[in-house]
Amino acid sequence: MIRVAIADDHPVVRDGLRALFTTLPDAELVAEASTGREAIRAAVTMRPHVLVMDLRMPDLDGTAATAEITRLAPDVAVLVLTMFEDDESVYAAMRAGARGYLVKGASQEQIRHAIATVAAGGAIFGPGIARRVLTYFSTPPAAAQQPFPELTSREREVLDLIAAGLTNASIAARLGVAGKTVGNHISTIFTKLQVATRAEAIIRARDAGLGR
């Protein structure tokens, strides 16, 4: 028997889910909540196998409640059932620890199957959500932007060596250029970064990951 709890601030939704669970021979409704904090309390005290969670609720939103349930009662599987399907809501819920995500309007069979899946330790997403999740993880990450794009590649190289603690003479020897050329580069770097001293430049550069 799968123990289920509902967290939704709309009585009509809770009524519909309650009616659904009464028709399922393998599910038992053990708790209802209308706020995020009530959902956390239900998860901790009743320990349902699955908690069906809306995202927009008073008191504490469903994403924050999911994160807290994941921390306090990690054995409780949170299944999001909401009207929101934007990327921000989906990924925030996943990061919070939700094991499933359905959009309201899902069929009774989809909800039943989702509850059984997350109760068994699996993860499940509605068709549209699943496509976006797969696209998100299959898209190569964007190349990291170079720090200080206002600098030329040579100026960035000089700044990197400054941040590593090299003197002007050492930088000149490393790059095979005259000391005066290094000095000119440094003056230009200071102007572009709007810093007045070498120490300020080093701090800016190291904060951006240079000099390592």
* CATH number of the domain encompassing residue 194: 1.10.10.10
pLDDT of residue 147: 84
Residues 100 and 177 in one domain: no
Domain boundary among 81, 107, 138: 138
Q: Rounded to the nearest 10 degrees, how much is the dihedral formed by the CA atoms of 5, 9, 14, 15?
A: 150
pTM exceeds 0.85, yes or no: no
Classify residue 74: in a domain, yes or no.
yes
Same domain for 108 and 27: yes
Residue type, 46: M
pLDDT at 148 over 70: yes
Residue where a domain terminates, one of 138, 164, 180: 138
Residue 125 lies in a domain: yes
Quote the strand ranges of 34-191, DSSP E: 50-53, 77-82, 100-103, 124-125
Q: Which of 114, 138, 162 is the last residue of a domain?
A: 138
**145 lies in a domain?**
no
Query: Of the ranges 72-81, 127-136, 185-194, which one carries the lowest mean pLDDT score?
Result: 127-136
Contact 4, 43 (CB under 8 A): no
* Same structural domain, 162 and 134: no
Tell me how crowded residue 50 is: count the other CB atoms within 10 A of its CB.
24
Report the CATH number that the domain containing residue 100 is assigned in CATH.
3.40.50.2300
Q: Is residue 85 domain-shared with residue 12, that is, in the same domain?
A: yes
Check: CB of residue 17 under 8 Å from CB of residue 6: yes
pLDDT at 104 over 60: yes
> Do 66 and 158 fall within a single domain?
no
Q: Does 60 map to a domain? A: yes
Domain span at residue 10? 2-138
Same domain, 126 and 166: no
CB-count burial class (<10 Å; 0-12, 13-18, 19+) for 113: middle
Comparing C-alpha atoms, which of 68, 60, 16, 18 is closest to residue 35? Answer: 60
Query: Is there a domain that residue 43 lies in?
Result: yes
- With bands split at pLDDT 50, 70 and 90, how would you rate the model's confidence at 25? confident
Nearest-angstrom CA–CA distance, 123 and 191? 53
Other beta carbons within 10 angstroms of residue 107's beta carbon come to: 9
Q: What is the reported pLDDT for 190?
A: 94
Residue 143 in this model has a pLDDT that exceeds 80: no
Residue 30 inside a domain? The answer is yes
The count of domains in the chain is 2
Question: pLDDT band for position 36 (50/70/90)?
Answer: very high
Q: Please tell me which residue, 189 or 58, carries the higher pLDDT value.
A: 189
Confidence label for 178 from pLDDT (cuts 50, 70 and 90):
very high
Domain contains 144: no
